[in-house]
Structure 1
Amino acid sequence: MKKKEQNLPTIIIDEHNPDQNKYELLKEKLRYKQALRENSKKIDHKQVRLNIQADALPSKTFFIMNALAAIIAGYGLLADSTAVVIGAMLVAMMLGPISGIALAFIDARWILLRTALSTLSLGVMMIYSIGIIMGLIHFDLPITHEILARTKPTTIDLMIALAGGAAGAFAAVSPRLSVAVVGVAVATALVPPLVASGILLAHGQLQNSANAFLLAFTNMIAIQVSSSLVLWITGFRRGSDEEVNSIWGFIKRNSISLIILMILAIYLTFNLIQSIHKQLYETQIKQQISQSLNVNNNVIDIVQFDPRENFTVVRASIRGDLPPTYAEIEKINTQLATDRNGHPSYLQIRFIPIQIIQSRALHSVHLNDQEAQELAIGTGNE
């Protein structure tokens, strides 16, 4: 019998013993204690450091998998398919070098920092280049909603990246969690915006391309900072005792990242406030138009906003029986809310008349005005 087996508790059970239930209860208690021991395993700091350092190296696997992820994400973006974009995360490997940077800051290991930064930079350039190439090859395809969705970074994206980086770090140090599960989730915050930025650059949309790249850069910084914080909390600290045990030590070693993160947070908060004001303005305008024009069997299909230098044009497409008059439009214009810059809003109507066509004469269904209006509005919203 091996030495480990000699230390394990052994219970011999007699099937004819009336105290069988007591023995079963004792077995369950022993299993529970074993589960507690398994769940309370200490972090193997040496092994975790080796794993993070290995993932931060510029290996063939890193480049192959991220190239495939960029191609999958690119076609998902061009096809406007959320499912395909999410599928790209299954093969991406962008968390490794970011975790390497986080550990390098915490442990003050500058060789590891240079290696991880080099790996991350090469990976970003490769993914970005693939995005540009795909944008040039499929230049005739339109810019989809999935691409444009990554051109408006806000504080919400920053908070998501912070949570994702913390989850990735906890998975890396935990003996019972798989870092791959969290790593693929973190990769979705990096690969799609980089590819989207490359596609937009190929189409000459410089502002949107810069915003998509800003989203990816924000995610990188946020993931690194939250990963560093988790590693520091879980005992990954090298240096003098005074510096290691002080929060100022963490701030000092991550000062550059924290300063960049604060600047990004201010800018993204400004973006979020602008986005909220825009949504409130558009919602108010749509409610005002709906109250005034959803009458006489008319149904509003689409409302679009075209901001100009000194005013905003509100274009509304309406289906119905009776077009609104010029006087009605003028009256609505005097009541419309001003845009975000305080400039007036002017309504422009595209009216689509409805004509009933049938193959043979049918008896008319007589409805009063209220019933006809409810029927038209209900049909238009289906």
Structure 2
Amino acid sequence: MEEKTTKRSSRNQFIRSLLYLKDRFDLHEGKEDELATIDYIKKNVEFKGANLWILIFAIFVASIGLNVNSTAVVIGAMLISPLMGPIMGIGMAAGINDFELLKRSLRNLGVAVFIAILTSTIYFNFTPLDDAQSELLARTEPTIWDVLIALFGGLAGIIAGSRKEKSNAIPGVAIATALMPPLCTAGYGLATLNLYYFIGAFYLFFINSVFISLSTYLIVRFMKFPKREFLDQKKEKRVQTYITIFTIITIVPSVYLAYGIVLRSIWEEQAKTFVSQEMIFPKTQVLNTNYTYSTEEKIIQVNLIGDQVGPETISTIREKAVSFGLDNTEIKINQNNAGITDMNLLRSDILKDLYERNEQIIQDKDMRIALLESEVANYGEVRYLGNDIAQEAKVNHPKLRKFTLNNSLITDLESESTDTLLVAFAEFTTKPSKEETEKFTQWLKLRTKSDTVALILN
């Protein structure tokens, strides 16, 4: 009897825990009316008037940020970008069977993408800065992390959009998923005729857009938003079929591409681990490593510098690659001149780099030497000048017993600056009057051609 009571108590506790968790994770808590949420998303779909001008200016800001490699500027541009509207509109339309909204969202997204790429292409055609900075290059090769960011960011965006009290989640999603920078990078690719940059950046934008739309679609269906009903059942069925076909056509390629990204990311991680753990030699170092991944071939090319590594060691290393999951991967190991067609170019680059560094060091040393020589010359000049002035001062002031003149460094503690001050020390047999002291100071300024002279009397 006691055992049954214990089991019943445990079961009740488990049920209470489940109910507590259900209440905690209930998406319907604080939810806005579904029709109000649909209307909210519909309003942000349209691209005309102010929205279009905001997009153009945001594209210019983002392009400048990428051009000068400023992360803060790029983030600011993403905050003011209105690109999220039509992308969420596509997911919403698919979720509620609104074919008209789907067409309007696609049309407006197409306009936005065209305007964005055109604007960034114009900017990069005229900018004097042609080099691709790290912020720009980061948008040319999508990874599995971009897919996950778009998926979870989209989920956060639609959930935040369905609340009564709107939060800053949607602008945050726009920053996290980085919709605008890839379009700017695509414009850079067109401006520089670099097809690789254009395809890579546009592909990243495509992945982000699809998975944000997919997230919106999933949440809309999960929260049971009211679907659009048609009086004509045949038309309703036809519209649902069109939306389903479009959704499948859009999602399936992106999922396949995302799967390819996952495989590539895993392979690159395994390849880097393999090189870092196995390419360790006593008197030989890895100069650089290149990774090539495609459906046709997988190549790890390692360039070594130092003592030659024996063929048996290389053979052992290649055999170990299998244990790192690098099946069907070709390991190319180039040593010094062996197999490196661009070794002379590589050496030339290294020598050039060393030469430029040495030139800079030499210039710095020359500047320091010149400064020290100037200081020494100035010190000697002041010292000899002090001897001459002492003799002249003795003629004008017979009571002068001792005299010295020198440059001293004085530090201003308030401005934290250092300057040179001419200091004169004079000792008289009897203390001179105030007028005589002033006259002596003025004479010293004229004689030394100095604006300021600090006179110390004893």
Within the candidate set 312, 334, 353, 1:347 is matched to: 334
Q: 1:314 aligns with which of 292, 299, 302?
A: 302
Counterpart for residue 214 of structure 2: 225
Q: CA shift at 1:313, angstroms?
A: 4.3
Match in the other structure for 1:183 = 171
Does residue 67 (structure 1) correspond to residue 52 (structure 2)? The answer is no
Query: Structure 1 residues 282, 172: CA separation in 2 closer, same or farther (over 3 Å shift)?
Result: closer
Partner of 1:53: 42
Alignment of 1:1-382 (within 5 A): 40-41=29-30, 43-138=32-127, 141-178=130-167, 181-186=169-174, 188-239=177-228, 253-293=243-283, 302-305=287-290, 313-316=301-304, 324-325=306-307, 327-328=308-309, 333-337=314-318, 342-349=329-336
- Tell me how far 1:306 sits from its aligned partner: 7.1
In 2, distance between residues paired with 1:216 and 1:257? 17
Q: Summarize the Cα distance change of 1:331–1:143 in structure 2 as closer, same or farther, 3 Å threshold.
A: farther
Question: Whose relative contact order is higher, 1 or 2, with alpha carbons under 8 Å and at least 6 apart?
Answer: 1
Distance in 2 (CA, whole Å) between partners of 1:203 and 1:335 is 45
State the Cα distance separating 1:61 from its structure 2 match: 2.4
Q: Contact 2:78/2:178 (CA < 8 Å) preserved in 1? A: no
* Stretch moving more, 341-350 or 155-164: 341-350
SS in 1 for 2:330: coil
Letter of the 2:72 partner, please give it.
A
Q: Which amino acid aligns with 2:332?
A: S
SS at match of 2:42: helix
- The secondary structure found in structure 1 opposite 2:280 is helix
User: Residue 6 of structure 2 corresponds to which residue in structure 1?
Assistant: none
Structure 1 unaligned regions, length at least 5: 1-38, 244-248, 295-299, 319-323, 360-382
Q: 1:307 to 1:56 in 2, by over 3 A?
A: closer
CA distance in 2, matches of 1:117, 1:202: 26
Q: In the aligned structure 2, how far is the partner of 1:65 from the partner of 1:301?
A: 49
Q: Report the Cα distance in structure 2 between the residues aligned to 1:306 and 1:230, rounded to whole angstroms.
A: 39
* Structure 2 SS opposite 1:175: coil
- The normalised TM-score by structure 1 is 0.66
Query: Following the alignment from structure 1 to structure 2, what is the Cα–Cα distance between the partners of residues 172 and 87?
Result: 21
SS at match of 1:347: strand
Q: 1:310 to 1:153 in 2, by over 3 A?
A: closer
- Residue aligned with 1:290, SS: coil
1:106-151 residue CA offsets vs partner (Å, 9 max, x unmatched): 3333332232222211111111112222332237522222222222
TM-score when scaled to structure 2?
Answer: 0.56
State the alpha-carbon separation in 2 of the partners of residues 277 and 103 from structure 1.
36
Tell me whether 253-262 or 335-344 shows the greater mean CA deviation.
335-344
Instruction: Please give the alpha-carbon distance, in whole angstroms, between the structure 1 residues aligned to 2:310 and 2:193.
Output: 38
Shift in alpha-carbon separation, 1:42–1:282, aligned structure 2, 3 A: closer
Q: Point out the structure with the larger strand share.
A: 2
Whether contact under 8 Å (1:107, 1:239) holds in the other structure is: yes
CA RMSD after TM alignment: 3.8
SS in 1 for 2:302: strand
Q: Is the 8 A contact 2:186 2:201 kept in 1?
A: yes
Equivalent position SS for 1:303:
strand
Compared CA separation, residues 106 and 285, structure 1 to 2 (3 A): closer
Partner Cα separation in structure 2 for residue 329 and residue 135 of structure 1: 50
- In 1, are the aligned partners of 2:34 and 2:226 still within 8 Å (CA)? no
How far has the Cα of 1:167 moved from its partner?
1.3
Alignment partners' CA distance in 1, 2:289 and 2:127: 28
Runs of 5+ unmatched residues, structure 2: 1-27, 234-238, 337-345, 355-360, 366-458
> Per the alignment, in what secondary structure is the counterpart of residue 289 of structure 2?
strand
Q: Distance in 2 between matches of 1:261 and 1:218?
A: 9
**1:240 and 1:273, CA in 2 relative to 1: closer, same or farther beyond 3 A?**
same
Alpha carbons of 1:86 and 1:257: their partners in 2 closer, same or farther (altered >3 Å)? same
- Cα offset, 1:71, TM superposition: 1.8
In structure 2, what residue type is equivalent to 1:186?
A
Q: Go from structure 1 to structure 2 and tell me whether the alpha carbon gap of 1:282 and 1:41 turns closer, same or farther (over 3 Å shift).
A: closer
Q: Secondary structure at the match of 1:214?
A: helix
**In 2, distance between residues paired with 1:42 and 1:165?**
17
Query: C-alpha distance in 1, partners of 2:151/2:126?
Result: 35
The structure having more radius of gyration, on CA atoms, is: 2
Cα contact 2:99–2:243 (8 A) shared by 1: no
Paired-residue identity, %: 26
